């Protein structure tokens, strides 16, 4: 089989490595890939959002199956376009991807179908938004841009002045472009966060092993929000009882709600949950695999990924057995110094071992390129050093040992990935 994967980060590198485990896979093409991906797939300089370019390539190369991984091509309708030219795909159609593409849509969906989420109001007028926040006078409060904003469209404000600044920058200075023309103002929730990715074909819901992301740039959850600085799986806060409650109150109701709205979701649905004192609440939905959640979750998947993805696409997920390994996985992201703000790229990455760094370790490339026989940094998040172990301390120890052996100028990583999870395990 000839496969096509759309995307260019650590998540896509992980998906490609996993797909290659199936002996039927003869070749994988990727738009547009990165330095590491170029060793595992044939890369094309076609942007993941270039629908015409991707379709033209898929047709010319007679691709048998495509996986659309990032949010923006999904929201733009890449799956619809590929399906139309007869190429089976993994990923939701644009109608269903709106669950991530519009926070207003997802909040209204949850309200309509009684799915637990923070109380909220929607505004497209800055003065009205400010008036509401002033009258409510409860801080902190959360302000979210309606549309996609590279994971940065959420601001938690602690007082009236910060609220004013946030609304001004989103709605009047348009720091997130048109994504911030409409905003959601919502109640601030507290509790441990859990990421749950689930395969669904609209009829069956198969949650994968849970994970914990570390979104802030610096140790102790300080610094700015990033795409994610590291992950562990499973998430020890996510007990079997909580998993059962989430299935009943969140996962299945979401699948049913999307069906009732005529927006059947097929693909990987990402539930960003907060375990509040009142029970599990949905913080956000994503219409795709998370990054860097995928690195730890797929590392623990024991079943064949391509078979599952094909079953999702055909609506035959019920017949599929999906197994995860025992043990734990950890991913430490190596980033360019300064990320998520200003950073320099083009530095040589040293210490990479062609055969994987050590048994049980995988290095997934995110912002890298391969030039003149060398890997160079080419983005904010550079590598996701991922390891498995019998338990979490072992997985973390292996991941950090491998991460420390890799160097590049300005390399930054958090030293406390998994620390909160280890604390939760002690309790």
Q: Which residues bind ligand GLY (CB under 6 A)?
A: 151, 213, 227-228, 286, 290-291, 293
Q: Taking CB positions, which residue lies at the least distance from ligand GLY?
A: 290
Nearest approach, Cβ of 189 to ligand GLY (angstroms)?
17
CA dihedral 150, 156, 162, 163 (to 10 degrees): 90
Asked if 142 is part of the footprint of ligand AMP (rule: CB under 6 A), the reply reads yes
Per partner kind, with CB cut-offs from 5 to 8 A, the member of ligand AMP, ligand GLY, none near residue 186 is ligand AMP
Nearest approach, Cβ of 249 to ligand GLY (angstroms)?
22
Choose between 291 and 299: whose C-beta lies nearer to ligand GLY.
291
Among positions 188, 224, 341, 346, the unique one binding ligand AMP when judged by CB under 6 A: 188
Choose between 12 and 213: whose C-beta lies nearer to ligand GLY.
213
Choose between 182 and 295: whose C-beta lies nearer to ligand GLY.
295
Nearest approach, Cβ of 151 to ligand GLY (angstroms)?
5
Gap between the Cα atoms of 50 and 89, Å rounded: 16
Specify whether the CB–CB gap between 196 and 246 falls below 8 A. Answer: yes
Specify whether the CB–CB gap between 254 and 174 falls below 8 A. Answer: no
Nearest approach, Cβ of 242 to ligand GLY (angstroms)?
20
H or E element at residue 52: helix 51-60
Gap between the Cα atoms of 241 and 215, Å rounded: 26
Applying CB under 6 A, the span of 66-74, 186-194, 307-315, 350-358 interacting with ligand AMP comes to 186-194
Asked if 283 is part of the footprint of ligand AMP (rule: CB under 6 A), the reply reads yes
Specify whether the CB–CB gap between 402 and 362 falls below 8 A. Answer: no
Q: Is 121 exposed, middle or buried (0-12, 13-18, 19+ CB in 10 A)?
A: middle
Choose between 202 and 272: whose C-beta lies nearer to ligand GLY.
272
Strands (E), 45-179: 65-68, 89-90, 120-123, 141-145, 154-157
Among positions 50, 100, 146, 186, the unique one binding ligand AMP when judged by CB under 6 A: 186
Per partner kind, with CB cut-offs from 5 to 8 A, the member of ligand GLY, ligand AMP, none near residue 283 is ligand AMP
b/e per residue 74-99 (b: at least 16 CB within 10 A): bbbbbbbbbbeeebebbbbbbbbbbb
Cα end-to-end distance, the chain, whole Å: 48
Asked if 53 is part of the footprint of ligand AMP (rule: CB under 6 A), the reply reads no
Nearest approach, Cβ of 290 to ligand GLY (angstroms)?
3
DSSP of 294-329, one letter per residue? HHHHHHTB-S-HHHHHHHHHHT-GGG----B-SSEE
Per partner kind, with CB cut-offs from 5 to 8 A, the member of ligand GLY, ligand AMP, none near residue 228 is ligand GLY
Nearest approach, Cβ of 116 to ligand AMP (angstroms)?
12
Cα distances (angstroms) measured from residue 155 to each of 136, 151, 372: 17, 11, 42
Per partner kind, with CB cut-offs from 5 to 8 A, the member of ligand GLY, ligand AMP, none near residue 290 is ligand GLY
Asked if 216 is part of the footprint of ligand AMP (rule: CB under 6 A), the reply reads no
Nearest approach, Cβ of 382 to ligand AMP (angstroms)?
22
Among positions 76, 89, 99, 118, the unique one binding ligand AMP when judged by CB under 6 A: 118
Size of the site for ligand AMP (CB under 6 A): 15
Asked if 208 is part of the footprint of ligand AMP (rule: CB under 6 A), the reply reads no
Residue 383: which of 331, 348, 330, 328 has the closest Cα? 331
Q: Is 248 exposed, middle or buried (0-12, 13-18, 19+ CB in 10 A)?
A: exposed
Residue 361: which of 327, 326, 415, 398 has the closest Cα? 398
Choose between 57 and 156: whose C-beta lies nearer to ligand AMP.
156
Asked if 151 is part of the footprint of ligand AMP (rule: CB under 6 A), the reply reads yes
Query: Parallel, antiparallel, or unpaired: how do β-strands 193-200 and 183-187 relate?
Result: unpaired
Q: Taking CB positions, which residue lies at the least distance from ligand AMP?
A: 284
Per partner kind, with CB cut-offs from 5 to 8 A, the member of ligand AMP, ligand GLY, none near residue 236 is none
| Centroid of chain to Cα 66 | 18
Cα distances (angstroms) measured from residue 336 to each of 7, 11, 19, 313, 344: 20, 18, 28, 37, 7
Asked if 143 is part of the footprint of ligand AMP (rule: CB under 6 A), the reply reads no
What are residue 365's DSSP bridge partners? 383
Nearest approach, Cβ of 211 to ligand AMP (angstroms)?
13
Please list every residue from 238 through 277 that binds ligand AMP, using CB under 6 A.
272
Asked if 89 is part of the footprint of ligand AMP (rule: CB under 6 A), the reply reads no
Among positions 215, 249, 409, 412, the unique one binding ligand AMP when judged by CB under 6 A: 215
């Amino acid at each position: 089989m000839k496969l096509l994967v759309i995307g260019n980060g650590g998540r896509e590198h992980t998906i490609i490595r996993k797909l290659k485990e199936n002996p039927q896979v003869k070749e994988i093409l990727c738009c547009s890939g990165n330095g590491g991906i170029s060793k595992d797939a044939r890369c094309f300089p076609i942007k993941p959002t270039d629908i015409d370019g991707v379709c033209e390539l898929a047709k010319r190369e007679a691709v048998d199956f495509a996986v659309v991984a990032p949010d923006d091509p999904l929201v733009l309708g890449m799956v619809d376009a590929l399906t139309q030219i007869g190429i089976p795909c993994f990923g939701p159609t644009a109608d269903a991807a709106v669950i991530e593409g519009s926070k207003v849509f997802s909040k209204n969906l949850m309200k309509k179908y009684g799915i637990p989420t923070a109380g909220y109001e929607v505004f497209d007028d800055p003065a009205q938004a400010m008036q509401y926040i002033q009258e409510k006078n409860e801080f902190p409060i959360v302000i979210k841009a309606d549309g996609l904003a590279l994971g940065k469209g959420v601001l938690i404000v602690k007082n009236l002045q910060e609220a004013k600044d946030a609304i001004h920058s989103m709605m009047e200075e348009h720091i997130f472009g048109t994504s911030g023309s409409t905003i959601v103002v919502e109640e601030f929730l507290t509790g441990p966060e859990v990421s749950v990715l689930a395969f669904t074909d609209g009829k069956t819901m198969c949650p994968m092993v849970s994970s914990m992301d570390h979104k802030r740039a610096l140790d102790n959850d300080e610094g700015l929000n990033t795409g994610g600085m590291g992950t562990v799986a499973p998430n020890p806060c996510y007990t079997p009882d909580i998993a059962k409650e989430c299935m009943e109150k969140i996962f299945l109701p979401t699948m049913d709600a999307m069906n009732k709205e005529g927006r059947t979701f097929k693909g990987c649905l990402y539930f960003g949950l907060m375990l509040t004192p009142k029970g599990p609440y949905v913080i956000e939905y994503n219409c795709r695999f998370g990054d860097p959640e995928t690195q730890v979750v797929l590392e623990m998947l024991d079943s064949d990924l391509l078979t599952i993805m094909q079953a999702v696409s055909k609506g035959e997920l019920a017949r599929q057995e999906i197994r995860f390994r025992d043990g734990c996985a950890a991913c430490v992201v190596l980033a360019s110094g300064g990320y998520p703000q200003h950073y320099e790229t083009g530095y040589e990455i040293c210490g990479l071992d062609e055969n994987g760094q050590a048994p049980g370790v995988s290095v997934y490339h995110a912002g890298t390129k391969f030039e003149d026989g060398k890997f160079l940094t080419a983005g904010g998040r550079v590598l996701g050093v991922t390891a498995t172990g019998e338990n979490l301390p072992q997985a973390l120890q292996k991941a950090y040992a491998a991460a420390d052996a890799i160097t590049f100028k300005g390399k930054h990583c958090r030293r406390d990935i998994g620390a909160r999870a280890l604390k939760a395990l002690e309790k």
